Structure 1
Amino acid sequence: MNILIGMEVDWIRPSSKAFIEDLLAEFPLELFVGSVHHVHCVPIDYSTALFDEARDISGGSNEKLFEDYFDLQYEMLVALRPPVVGHFDLIRLKSDDPDTNFASMEGVRRRISRNLAFITEYGGVLELNSAALRKGLKEPYPNGVISKEFLALGGNFTISDDSHGVDQVGSHYRELLRFAKEVGILQITYLEKGSSNRDPRFPNVTSKTTTLSLLESHPFFA
C-alpha cells in the first residue's frame, strides 16, 4: 500500500523555521505541506473576529493584510521550499469578499506573482484544495485567476480535501475536478514511494502525474 507519512507545517513567525527543521530531522517523514494560517501571529481562518484583529494590526485594510499574508508566505517558501504548498490564498476565507480574485489590488497581485514564480522555480506543487468549496466559497484554493497564472508558468497541481474528519474525505472532489477542467489543468501530480532526486530531503519519494480524464474515470467519480 502506498501510504506516505508527512505533516502540514504552519509558518507563524521566523522562529518557526528552527522548530520545523527540528521536526523534519527527528522524524522519518516523507513529505510536508507548507502553509500559513497566521498573520502577525493571529489566526486568519478561524473566525471573523480574529481576522479583523489581524487586519487592524496591518493598518485596517484588507489589501494591506493580504499583502502581509503573501509576504509571510514568501518568507515560508524561501525558508522551507515545501514540496506541497497548501491553500495558497486561504487569506480570503474570512475577508469581506471571500470570492475576491485580488484583481484591483496591484500590490497583492505582485506578491502573488512573485510567490508563484518562486514555487515554480524550486519545483513545488500547488495544492488544489476543495475545503474552500466545503466552506461555501465559489472556487477552491487557489482561485481561478491564480490557478491559471501558475499553470501558465508550467506549475504542477495536486488535489486535497483538507479533511479534518472521515466525513470530509473526498468532499467536493467532483466540483474540484470540474474547476480544474475549466481552468485548463490537464494533469494532476501525486507522490508515491520510490527513489528520486526531486527533493534530496525525501530520497524515497517520487513525483508522478495522472491525466485529469483518467482521474475522472476512477470509480469514486462514477
Structure 2
Amino acid sequence: MPYSLHSHSGQFCKHGYGLLEDVVKEAIRKGFYVYGLTEHMPRFADSELYPEEIEAKCTPSSLATTYNDFLKEAKRLQEVYNGQIQLIIGSEIEFINEEYAKYVHQLRKDTIDYVVGSLHHVQSIPVDFSPELYQKALQIAGNGDLKTLFVKYFNEQYEMLRSVRPEVVGHFDLIRIFSDPVKAEQLLTPSSTEAAEDKEEHNDVWDCIIRNIKYVIEYGGLFEINSRAWKKGLRDAYPHRNIIKAILVEGGRLTLSDDCHGPNDVGLFYEKLPDYLKENQINSIYYLKRDQNIDALSVKEHSNILDDKFWQSMSK
C-alpha cells in the first residue's frame, strides 16, 4: 500500500505538467493507499515570482486564484475517487520571510488538512530553480562560501519550523541540490576528517541540522524521504543518509514522498527505495491518514515495510 504526502501537477504549478486528475488516476493505477495533494501556496509580491511565472504573466493575484482553483478541484477529486484512494489535501508552503507564517496559519485555519514545510529560498533568493540562481544565493547569502550558505539555509529552516510546525518537513536538505557534491558530502558528514580549523566551521552546519531535527521531533512532525532527488542526479534521496541516521538516533519518524510534478512522476524512483531503506536500516515508515472518528488526520505506522508487497506496483 504505497503512499506519498507531497505532489504537484501542471494544472496548478508552472513547472509541472498534466492534469491533477490524471495524477490521481495514476496513483490509483499504481495502488497508492494515501496520496497527498499539495500544490504550492501562492506568493504575495511581484519580486517573489519565478522566471517561468513572469514569462506566463502571472501575478500574486493570479497565483492566489490558481491556488483556490486547486482547492476546489482537490475536493472534487476526493469525492469522485472516494473508495478507490484516500486523497488528503494540503499545501507545500513557502517561507521567504516571517510574514509567510501568517499566510500559512490562515490557509491552515480555512482550507487545508496539513502542510509540507519546505524552504526554497535563502535570503529571498530561490535555491532550487536553476544552477544560476543557486550561484547567486551562494555569492550573496553565502559570501561565496558553501558552509555559510548551508548554515543560513538551516537557520532559516529553523525559523520556518518554529513559526509553522509543519506536519511534514519537505526535502530537509534541499540546499545540496546544485552544490559541489564533494563539499556538500563533507558538510553533511559529522565524522569528517577535515583539518581541525575546518571542523569547527563544519560543526556549525551539523549543529544546525541536529537542532532542527530535535525540534521537529519535539512537536511530532514527520520527515519525508523525497525520491525526486534522484531525478536531480544526487546520490541520496532527500535527506542525505547521514541526516537519516541522525533522525533515527534522535527517535524521529520518516514518511515517503514522490514530489510528483505530473502523471508520469507518480511513484517516481520508488523502485529504488527498498534498497535505500535497507541501507539506512529503516523498517518502519509513517504516514498521515484521515481518522473519521475525529475528522482529522492522524499519524499511522507502517512497520516491516521491507517485507511488504508495498513495492510490487511500482514496477508497473
Find the counterpart in structure 1 of residue 285 from structure 2.
Answer: 188
Cα distance change on mapping 1:44 and 1:149 into 2, 3 Å: same
Percentage identity across paired residues of the two chains: 37
Find the counterpart in structure 1 of residue 229 from structure 2.
Answer: 132
More helix by share: 2
Alpha-carbon separation, structure 2, partners of 1:44 and 1:81: 22
Contact 2:274-2:306 within 8 A present in 1 as well:
no
Q: Does 1:39 align with 2:132?
A: no
Alpha-carbon separation, structure 2, partners of 1:4 and 1:221: 21
Find the counterpart in structure 2 of residue 4 from structure 1.
Answer: 88
Contact 1:161-1:169 within 8 A present in 2 as well:
yes
1:95 to 158, 163, 179: 179
Q: Deviations over 1:144-163 (max 9, x none)?
A: 10001101111111101101
Contact 1:43-1:51 within 8 A present in 2 as well:
yes
Alpha-carbon separation, structure 2, partners of 1:196 and 1:76: 31
Alpha-carbon separation, structure 2, partners of 1:17 and 1:6: 15
Q: Deviations over 1:168-199 (max 9, x none)?
A: 110111212211111011111011110588xx
Find the counterpart in structure 2 of residue 219 from structure 1.
Answer: 312
The one-letter code matched in structure 2 to 1:93 is: I
Cα distance change on mapping 1:217 and 1:17 into 2, 3 Å: closer
* Structure 1 segments unaligned to the other structure (5+ residues): 198-202
Report which stretch shifted further, 161-170 or 92-101.
92-101
Contact 1:177-1:216 within 8 A present in 2 as well:
no
* Structure 2 segments unaligned to the other structure (5+ residues): 1-82, 193-201
The one-letter code matched in structure 1 to 2:134 is: F
Cα distance change on mapping 1:101 and 1:84 into 2, 3 Å: farther
Find the counterpart in structure 2 of residue 206 from structure 1.
Answer: 298
2:259 to 153, 162, 169: 162
Compute the displacement of 1:214 (Å).
4.5
Q: Does 1:110 align with 2:228?
A: no
Find the counterpart in structure 2 of residue 200 from structure 1.
Answer: none
Report which stretch shifted further, 2-11 or 81-90.
2-11
Find the counterpart in structure 2 of residue 74 from structure 1.
Answer: 158
TM-score (norm 1): 0.91
RMSD: 1.8
Contact 2:267-2:314 within 8 A present in 1 as well:
no
> Equivalent residue of 1:107, what SS?
helix
> Equivalent residue of 1:20, what SS?
helix
Alpha-carbon separation, structure 2, partners of 1:168 and 1:138: 19
Contact 1:195-1:206 within 8 A present in 2 as well:
no
Compute the displacement of 1:49 (Å).
1.1
Q: Number of residues paired by the alignment?
A: 216
- Structure number with greater CO (CA < 8 Å, separation at least 6) is 2
TM-score (norm 2): 0.65
Alpha-carbon separation, structure 1, partners of 2:101 and 2:285: 29
